[in-house]
Amino acid sequence: METTDAFAGLECTDCGVTFDADEATHRCPECGGILDPTYDYDVISLDRETLSSRPFDSMWRYEELLPFRRESAVTMDEGATPLVECPALADELGVERVVIKDEGRNPTGTFKDRGQSVAVTAARQHGATDVALASAGNAGQAAAAYAGRADLESHVFLPARSSHTTKAMVNVHGGDMTVVGGRIGEAVEAYEDALAEHDDWYPLQTFATPYRHEGKKTMLYELIEQLEWETPDAIVYPTGGGVGLVGMYKGATEWRELGLIDELPAMYAAQASGCAPIVEAFEAGRDVHEPVEYPDTICGGLEIPDPGGSPQVLEALRESDGGAVATDDDDVLEAAIAVAKGEGLEMAPSAAAAASGAWGLAERGEFDVDETVVVLNTGTGNKQADVLRSHLMGKGI
């Protein structure tokens, strides 16, 4: 395997045993826990000037802090997304500054590209011929795209309610698609059944591969640099499985360790009320979620009733002095429309839960007037224009 100098291997987040990345590819061989890439930070010499002098051209500009070299990466220059000033939103929320990290500018229109770039690179390094996953839609589209680029076969399991665009684009990228009746749980079951029959398929499933949250941590690196090394007071993240939140929290602790920042930004998980297991666990003071029995939200990417990484998500919220907030679908869609109207930015319904969540947090007095709030726009609105438009229809517009 061709890895970067500091990459040390994989550590189990449950039992703490460490493994060579050549040998352990997915969950912990000892206990089945989630594996997390580790680095020898002593051999990384990165300072603010060095980073600032590099072209802002792709998430792979942080190569030293990723497992694989840029030259061997399966990449389409994902990342390096803009951080857009949103003065109207700042006025509404009553804070000094709101910026939206616009992940809609990624190759397939969502931040899932960051995770799949690293995970598909790992698949190729491990000699895989086929990759597979179940997804609400966006991760499946991203996987099909990166697998195509790496000349791997992809097998994508989607629930019937996935958006038209993601299904169409899995086909367009040459992926083998199975549409499963029901919701994400049924798609995961179908995927697991198929995986049991194909032991040569390389899983790209959330937290099954150690590399998806690893790719997403680069969002944190970027936004700190874009804020000219000011640590924001709050980051509001639309949370399903919480992969991006866990990644960004890791990114912040790494940069603190490297002396690039002094403190951690407060991380907030925003969920849809129809499926908010993280919010419920946070408010109840629990370390792990309880599965939601009847999940129901229009935010497909957030309809994750049984998020396997909830202990990591909850730890990130508590350790960073953040919090959690749930808002109703109607408010989510209203927020998407308000941001599109007032700022011009197009947010997918799932992503807009971060905007309505920020509103909710502001209303309950979570932010001070002099604060800087970052809202993650995890996916572009035009992938689900039909959902946003029909919300207007419901209002007689």
Chain residues binding Zn ion by CB under 5 A are 12, 14-15, 28, 30-31, 33
Residue 206 or 231 having the CB closest to ligand PLP: 206
- 392 contact choice in ligand PLP, Zn ion, none (CB below 5 to 8 Å, kind-dependent): none
CB-CB neighbours of 293 under 10 Å = 7
3-class SS of residue 112: helix
- Shortest Å distance, C-beta 262 to ligand PLP: 26
By CB under 6 A, tell whether 238 contacts ligand PLP.
yes
Number of residues engaging ligand PLP in binding (CB under 6 A): 18
Residue 14 or 306 having the CB closest to Zn ion: 14
By CB under 6 A, tell whether 167 contacts ligand PLP.
no
Distance from C-alpha of 38 to C-alpha of 11, rounded to nearest angstrom: 7
Stretch that binds ligand PLP, among 65-73, 119-127, 192-200, 348-356 (CB under 6 A): 348-356
Cβ(209)–Cβ(119) below 8 Å: yes
Residue 108 or 125 having the CB closest to ligand PLP: 108
Answer for which of 107, 140, 295, 379 binds ligand PLP (CB under 6 A) is 379
- 378 contact choice in Zn ion, ligand PLP, none (CB below 5 to 8 Å, kind-dependent): ligand PLP
Residue 33 or 104 having the CB closest to Zn ion: 33
By CB under 6 A, tell whether 326 contacts ligand PLP.
no
Answer for which of 106, 117, 218, 239 binds ligand PLP (CB under 6 A) is 239
Which whole-number Å values give the CA distances from 187 to 250, 337, 366, in the listed order?
29, 30, 37
Backbone angles phi, psi at 387, to 5 degrees: -65, -45
Answer for which of 26, 112, 217, 391 binds ligand PLP (CB under 6 A) is 112
Answer for which of 348, 358, 361, 387 binds ligand PLP (CB under 6 A) is 348
Binding to ligand PLP (CB under 6 A): which residues in 30-69? none
Residue whose token pair is 């020898």? 40
Which DSSP helix (H) or strand (E) runs through 38?
A: strand 35-39
By CB under 6 A, tell whether 357 contacts ligand PLP.
no
Cβ(322)–Cβ(239) below 8 Å: no
User: 61-87 as b/e, with b when 16 or more CB fall inside 10 Å?
Assistant: bbbbbbbbbeeebbbbebbbbbbbebe
Residue 28 or 292 having the CB closest to Zn ion: 28
- Shortest Å distance, C-beta 122 to Zn ion: 19
- 251 contact choice in Zn ion, ligand PLP, none (CB below 5 to 8 Å, kind-dependent): none
Which whole-number Å values give the CA distances from 16 to 12, 206, 209, 245, in the listed order?
5, 20, 17, 21
Can you list the pairs that 45-48 forms with residues at least 24 positions away whose Cβ atoms lie under 8 Å?
A: 46/258, 46/260, 47/260, 48/229, 48/260
Task: Quickly list H helices, 41-155.
Answer: 48-52, 87-93, 112-125, 138-149
Backbone angles phi, psi at 39, to 5 degrees: -135, 155
Positions touching ligand PLP (CB under 6 A) are 110, 112, 138-139, 238-244, 301-302, 348, 350-351, 378-379
